[in-house]
């Protein structure tokens, strides 16, 4: 299980969210409190939006706590929309290509969770995506592949629908392979304009998700990065969150799994 944090609002230094708070994401890389494993030392990544349509991407395989480049970048770079992730591998090797966020065009995506039995359905799912997307695949993780399924399912036009249909394809692939579909999906993603998140698990036990409205903007995180404030709101399981600088909506996210399986 990993930890992540994302922000949308006025431009702030990445530092203000990623490294400065007392229980910042960097601190969580060392000692997360709500994760199955306290250590998230298998690499990290940042995607941030600036003047280009596509995001910047900085990923490395060191633990986040020991990378001086990360500290300097967070201190210098300002952005009004960014995603940051520290990784605890559930399978894939520790390589840059397996670090989150993943990007494609103007989209970025990061994930806390996993597809159980992924090795049994990986071929099936990979074979199902189109050549252009497949060529963008750099690593071996379930998360990167799920992002590609979302892109193929129309992320541009209908974000929630795309996640629903991508979930359906995983469920269908599991049924097709004769295994029980098990997906844990607490993920954030952005097109550079809005920030989206989903909290869902096929077994109902989805990793935690919190939001906060601050002075300069909104945060959405795996776990709060400070403990004093009362301002963090837990997002209920089976939710889909859409944020702009101006508003936030939380809608139910409850794919009809049986149906999806049939549809797949």
Residue 22 in the binding site for a copy of itself (CB under 8 A):
no
Sites for a copy of itself among residues 28-47 (CB under 8 A) = 30-31, 38-39, 41-42
- Using CB atoms within 10 A of its CB, is residue 196 exposed (0-12), middle (13-18) or buried (19+)? buried
Single residue of 50, 80, 176, 214 touching a copy of itself by CB under 8 A = 50
Q: Measured from the CB of residue 68, what is the shortest distance to a copy of itself in angstroms? A: 7
**C-alpha–C-alpha distance, residues 40 and 161, integer Å:** 31
Single residue of 9, 21, 63, 159 touching a copy of itself by CB under 8 A = 63
Q: Measured from the CB of residue 138, what is the shortest distance to a copy of itself in angstroms? A: 6
Residue 80 in the binding site for a copy of itself (CB under 8 A):
no
**C-alpha–C-alpha distance, residues 215 and 221, integer Å:** 17
The CA-to-CA distance between both ends of the chain, in Å, stands at: 27
Residue 51 in the binding site for a copy of itself (CB under 8 A):
yes
Residue 20 in the binding site for a copy of itself (CB under 8 A):
no
**C-alpha–C-alpha distance, residues 226 and 214, integer Å:** 13
Specify whether the CB–CB gap between 210 and 220 falls below 8 A. yes
- Part in contact with a copy of itself (CB under 8 A); list of ranges 18-26, 61-69, 181-189, 242-250: 61-69
Q: What are phi and psi of 196, to 5 degrees?
A: -115, 155
**C-alpha–C-alpha distance, residues 134 and 123, integer Å:** 12
Residue 61 in the binding site for a copy of itself (CB under 8 A):
yes
Q: How many CB atoms lie within 10 A of CB 91?
A: 12
**C-alpha–C-alpha distance, residues 27 and 225, integer Å:** 9
Rg of the Cα atoms in the chain? 17
Single residue of 33, 53, 119, 180 touching a copy of itself by CB under 8 A = 119
Single residue of 23, 34, 75, 176 touching a copy of itself by CB under 8 A = 75
Q: How many CB atoms lie within 10 A of CB 205?
A: 8
Single residue of 20, 80, 140, 161 touching a copy of itself by CB under 8 A = 140
Single residue of 16, 20, 60, 80 touching a copy of itself by CB under 8 A = 60
Q: Measured from the CB of residue 94, what is the shortest distance to a copy of itself in angstroms? A: 4
Specify whether the CB–CB gap between 50 and 56 falls below 8 A. yes
Binding residues vs a copy of itself (CB under 8 A): 30-31, 38-39, 41-42, 48, 50-52, 55-63, 66, 68-69, 72-73, 75-78, 89, 93-97, 119, 122-123, 126-127, 131, 134-135, 137-138, 140
């Amino acid at each position: 299980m990993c930890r992540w944090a994302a922000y949308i609002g006025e431009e702030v230094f990445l530092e203000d969210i990623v490294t400065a708070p007392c229980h910042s994401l960097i601190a969580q890389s060392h000692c997360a409190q709500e994760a199955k494993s306290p250590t998230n030392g298998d690499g990290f990544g940042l995607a941030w939006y600036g003047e280009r349509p596509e995001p910047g991407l900085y990923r490395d395989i060191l633990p986040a706590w020991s990378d001086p480049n990360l500290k300097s970048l967070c201190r210098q770079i300002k952005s009004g929309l960014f995603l940051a992730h520290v990784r605890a591998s559930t399978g894939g090797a520790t390589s840059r290509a397996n670090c989150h966020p993943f990007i494609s065009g103007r989209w970025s995506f990061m994930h806390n969770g996993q597809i159980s039995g992924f090795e049994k359905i990986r071929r099936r799912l990979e074979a199902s995506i189109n050549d252009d997307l497949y060529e963008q695949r750099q690593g071996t993780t379930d998360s990167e592949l799920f992002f590609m399924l979302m892109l193929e399912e129309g992320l541009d036009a209908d974000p929630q629908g795309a996640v629903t249909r991508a979930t359906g394809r995983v469920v269908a692939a599991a049924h097709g392979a004769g295994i029980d579909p098990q997906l844990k999906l607490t993920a954030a993603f952005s097109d550079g304009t809005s920030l989206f998140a989903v909290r869902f698990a096929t077994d109902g036990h989805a990793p935690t998700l919190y939001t906060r409205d601050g002075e300069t903007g909104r945060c959405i995180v795996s776990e709060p990065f400070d403990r004093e404030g009362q301002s963090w709101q837990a997002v209920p399981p089976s939710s889909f969150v859409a944020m702009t600088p101006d508003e936030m909506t939380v809608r139910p996210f409850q794919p009809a799994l049986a149906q999806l399986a049939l549809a797949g």
